[in-house]
Amino acid sequence: MKQDKTINTDRVDTKPKDITERSLRELSLEAALLWNQIEDASESGAENVENLVKQLWQVQEATESKIDNIAWIVDYLKIEIDAAKKRLDAVIELHERFIARKEAQLAGIKQGLLWLHAQGLIPKRNIGKEREIEIRDNNPKVIPKVAADDSQLPDEFRVQELKSRLDLQAILDAHKSGRDISSFAEIQIGKQVRFKFQSSRTKIKHFQS
């Protein structure tokens, strides 16, 4: 029984197109069609086998060129992507340096204001025409004096894990409740600088004074 070698060409563009302009899909379909035609012509003794073989060689050569072109395009895209990534890395590095500079400037301003306050040169609240600079306490944090496995540390402030650690929140809560925790920890309260807009009430009081 003769095998059905029909190739579905419903989706192939039937408009004549130069062989070098055809897609790899079109060339592959055409090569399959030519193979079928060559086999059919060979079985029937048709005289156009040589012409079909010539066409097949042309398609094969165009297919090889198309494959090369696709590979070159892929290489080019990879080069472009790598170059873009390098440019991106350079831009990121540039912005990171910029951010680091600005953060250092911001930290310097805050540290300067904290120093002025610590020296008694400026008050906690410093009022301008539109803005206010406030020096206020940070949330308290626990500075441990002992390790988590130290015998001076009560068990209630020790979290049992694979490795013991201090329960800083429990120590802080105990301190807030009035309990003496000085034998194993101290409470440190730092300062912070806030930049904010004045409320209408503060602005009115400032101008009245």
The verdict on 77 and 171 lying in the same domain is no
Q: What percent of the chain has pLDDT over 70?
A: 79
The verdict on 2 and 35 lying in the same domain is yes
The verdict on 90 and 138 lying in the same domain is no
Q: What is the pLDDT of residue 6?
A: 46
The verdict on 10 and 102 lying in the same domain is yes
What residue numbers bound the domain in which 91 lies? 1-122
The verdict on 73 and 88 lying in the same domain is yes
Contacts of 74 (CB under 8 A, 6+ apart): none
Identify the band that residue 65 occupies on the pLDDT scale cut at 50, 70 and 90.
Answer: confident
Identify the band that residue 5 occupies on the pLDDT scale cut at 50, 70 and 90.
Answer: very low
The verdict on 78 and 133 lying in the same domain is no
Q: What is the pLDDT of residue 2?
A: 45
Q: What is the pLDDT of residue 74?
A: 85
Domain end, chosen from 122, 139, 154, is at 122
CA 17/CA 33 separation, integer angstroms: 16
The verdict on 90 and 11 lying in the same domain is yes
Domain end, chosen from 122, 154, 183, is at 122
Contacts of 43 (CB under 8 A, 6+ apart): none
Q: Is the pLDDT of residue 56 over 70?
A: yes
Give residue-wise pLDDT tens across range 134-187: 999 999 999 999 998 898 999 899 887 777 788 999 999 999 999 999 999 999
CA 188/CA 45 separation, integer angstroms: 101
The verdict on 116 and 130 lying in the same domain is no
> Is 65 within 8 Å of 21 (Cβ atoms)?
no
Identify the band that residue 32 occupies on the pLDDT scale cut at 50, 70 and 90.
Answer: confident
Domain end, chosen from 77, 104, 122, is at 122
The verdict on 109 and 145 lying in the same domain is no
Q: Is the pLDDT of residue 130 over 50?
A: yes
Residues 56-66 have a mean pLDDT of 79
Identify the band that residue 94 occupies on the pLDDT scale cut at 50, 70 and 90.
Answer: very high
β-bridge partners, 54: none
Residue with more model confidence, 91 or 204? 91
- Tell me the pairing of strands 141-144 and 191-197: unpaired
The verdict on 174 and 102 lying in the same domain is no
Q: Looking at the 3D structure of the chain, how many domains does it have?
A: 2
CA 177/CA 184 separation, integer angstroms: 16
CA 187/CA 169 separation, integer angstroms: 11
Q: What is the pLDDT of residue 208?
A: 60
Q: How far is CA 103 from the centre of its chain?
A: 21
The verdict on 41 and 104 lying in the same domain is yes
pTM of structure: 0.52
Q: What is the pLDDT of residue 117?
A: 94
Q: Is the pLDDT of residue 4 over 60?
A: no
Q: What is the pLDDT of residue 26?
A: 80
Q: What is the pLDDT of residue 54?
A: 80
Q: How far is CA 204 from the centre of its chain?
A: 47
The verdict on 33 and 93 lying in the same domain is yes
